Chain A
Amino acid sequence: NAGVTQTPKFRVLKTGQSMTLLCAQDMNHEYMYWYRQDPGMGLRLIHYSVGEGTTAKGEVPDGYNVSRLKKQNFLLGLESAAPSQTSVYFCASSYGSHQYYGYTFGSGTRLTVV
């Protein structure tokens, strides 16, 4: 089925460890986004990309880096994980800036930093 695939689905990290979350979409979408979801906080934008080779900071970018080397993939990296980064991470994609059809979201990555 066409859509957005996130890997891994679950991960436990120790403080200071690094990891990369992968997001892949097969809908030829130009725009891709990384959000984190915390209880009572709603979804908050970390980074986004408006096309291959571009990235930009969102609302809460500190402690994260991203790359979009290929149009279909958007990677989120944590260089030195902290307990404050325990969250559920969602990747989303869209055709463009006009959200006629809304985002297509992945199923999420639940990350725990201990």
Chain B
Amino acid sequence: EDQVTQSPEALRLQEGESSSLNCSYTVSGLRGLFWYRQDPGKGPEFLFTLYSAGEEKEKERLKATLTKKESFLHITAPKPEDSATYLCAVQAGAGGTSYGKLTFGQGTILTVHP
């Protein structure tokens, strides 16, 4: 069974205080690892897809990295507008049988104080 565990459950930062969110996963045949941002009362918004260990992607103050067992979302010099819930998800299944289905973690609630 595919599993995704995110830590910490909640993270409070001061503006400008860099930190990282963790996503540990167990999956049979990783096809992709995804990061989403979710604001209160809204649907998740796609951020990144990572496909293989060693891969990195960046967007503004966010950088996602991937190893064979986990992914990190690094937040550099965060601002209050970065406050949101960050979701990690995996797509499993080699050979085209996953039908795009994702298994999500429970999320990390990030709060950035001015």
Interface residue ranges, A against B (CB under 8 Å): 4, 31, 33, 35, 40-45, 48, 50, 56, 58, 90, 92, 94, 96-108
Contact = CB atoms under 8 A, between A and B. Distances in A.
A40 to B, nearest CB: 6
B21 interface: no
A33 B36 contact: no
Contacts of B32: 99
Contact of A102 (B4, B49, B96, B98): B49
Contacts of B49: 99-102
B21 to A, nearest CB: 14
A45 B101 contact: yes
- Give the interface size bracket for B toward A: 20 to 34
Interface stretch (B58-66, B76-84, B103-111): B103-111
A107 B43 contact: yes
B87 A42 contact: yes
Given A31-B99, A99-B34, A104 B46 contact: yes
B101 A90 contact: no
Nearest to B9: A40
11 contacts: A31-B100, A33-B101, A42-B105, A48-B101, A50-B99, A94-B100, A97-B100, A99-B32, A99-B102, A103-B46, A107-B41
